[in-house]
Structure 1
């Protein structure tokens, strides 16, 4: 279930939802909240995004 972005925890892999002109989309990679915003979990690359919702990242069983 999606949660408001204001309640997103730190130090956990999260699935984020972002809005654009076509609607709401879930990002296809896990992200982490940091004090300055968001990073891509796998690379620690800083992301320039404004997500609207979050939920716990559940890795695809084929990824493990």
Structure 2
């Protein structure tokens, strides 16, 4: 279940939903929230994104494309 980004916890691997020119999509890699923003959970590299929703990252989860639908419907 997707949750609003305002409730995203720090220090956990999360799957994030973002908007781009093609609509809304889930990132294909886990991210971690820290005091400075978002980082790629695997590399620690800063990720310059503005996600709209989050859910726990499930190991082995196939990348989810939320298309143009609202993430809470996925």
TM-score of the two chains, using structure 1 as the length reference: 0.91
Deviation at 1:36, TM superposition (A): 1.1
Root-mean-square deviation (Å): 1.0
CA distance in 2 between partners of 1:21 and 1:28 (Å):
17
Tell me the CA shift for residue 26 of structure 1: 0.3
**Cα drift, residue 7 of structure 1:** 0.2
Gaps of 5+ in 2: 62-74
Deviation string for 1:3-43 (max 9, x for gaps)?
A: 00000000100000000121100001010001111000011
**How many angstroms apart in 1 are the aligned matches of 2:21 and 2:39?**
23
TM-score normalised over the length of structure 2 = 0.79
Q: Provide runs of 4+ in structure 1 moved above 4 Å.
A: none
Q: Which runs of 5+ in 1 are unaligned?
A: none
Q: Which is strand-richer, 1 or 2?
A: 1
Structure 1 counterpart of 2:49: 49
Count residues with an aligned counterpart: 61
